[in-house]
Amino acid sequence: MTKKKPNVLITGASSGIGEALARHYAITGVGTLFISGRNRERLETVKTACERYNVKVYAEVIDVTDRQNTAAWIKKCEEIAPLNIVYADAGVATLEETPENIYNTFYTNVIGVLNTLIPAVEIFKNRRDKHKTLVITSSIAGYHGLPSCPSYSASKACVKAYGEALRSELRQFSIQVNVICPGFVKSRITDQNTCPMPFFMSAEKAAKIIAEKVEENVGLIAFPWPMRFAAWFMSILPNCVSDFVYTRLPHKV
């Protein structure tokens, strides 16, 4: 029996991991692909690229911090084709820790994720099928507060913890929840980094890892493993030790 191709929704699909995921699903096979982003030109480029693989693609310019528009878009997508996988991927880097940038980081990386997940959860709860998956993009930076990016790491720690808790809570509704914690991946965010980026990888490689682990229903998809281990180890050290280490690491310039 041929396995049914999933209908996939991805926020933040105009660049980085979101774009790479859209292209990956278009290449490997998807039912209907729904993508969103804030930049219309880049989003249309991704849409055109995905359509080359004879995939039906719907693209919408959406700011995930807009609760009503995001919920309305997700509902509209569900009416077009019942959603199977929803990626809450949209995110931003803080860069300089100005008040405006700090608020923007939390609005996008936390509230934007909630604005994507909550409507999807309500839709999934009302369906009896078992093909329902939520995927949340966190970061290796979410394992422990980093002095080089306090707002970013804090926002990613928030959605990491939320996703891990949701995984158990939503199991009773046959809803799968996976949390992604990638290291340094080629994106518009890392393009602006001035600090060292060990184990740097392409967005295409990251997307392949993520899609395969989601298919296997791995709860916490953290990679590459050396960075995962280092981040975990730092998170369990006494603060006096981690503070000592962090003061000796290279900082952004």
Does the pLDDT value for residue 228 go beyond 80?
no
**224 and 213 Cβ atoms separated by less than 8 Å:** no
Task: Give me the helix-helix angle, 150-169 and 112-125, nearest 10°.
Answer: 10
Please tell me the predicted confidence (pLDDT) of residue 192: 63
Does the pLDDT value for residue 196 go beyond 90?
no
Please tell me the predicted confidence (pLDDT) of residue 238: 75
Query: pLDDT band at residue 251, thresholds of 50, 70 and 90?
Result: low
Does the pLDDT value for residue 235 go beyond 60?
yes
CA 65/CA 160 separation, integer angstroms: 18
Tell which wins on pLDDT, 170 or 230.
Answer: 170
Query: pLDDT band at residue 152, thresholds of 50, 70 and 90?
Result: very high
How does pLDDT run across 96-125, given as a tens digit for each residue?
999 999 999 999 999 999 999 999 999 999
Tell me the average pLDDT of the chain.
Answer: 90
Does the pLDDT value for residue 89 go beyond 70?
yes
Share of the chain above pLDDT 90, in %: 74
Report residue 3 CA to chain centroid gap: 25
Please tell me the predicted confidence (pLDDT) of residue 122: 98
Does the pLDDT value for residue 174 go beyond 50?
yes
Query: pLDDT band at residue 250, thresholds of 50, 70 and 90?
Result: low
Query: pLDDT band at residue 73, thresholds of 50, 70 and 90?
Result: very high
Please tell me the predicted confidence (pLDDT) of residue 253: 42
CA 41/CA 123 separation, integer angstroms: 30
Mean predicted confidence (pLDDT) in 169-181: 97
**21 and 32 Cβ atoms separated by less than 8 Å:** no
Please tell me the predicted confidence (pLDDT) of residue 236: 73
CA 157/CA 30 separation, integer angstroms: 31
Tell which wins on pLDDT, 169 or 253.
Answer: 169
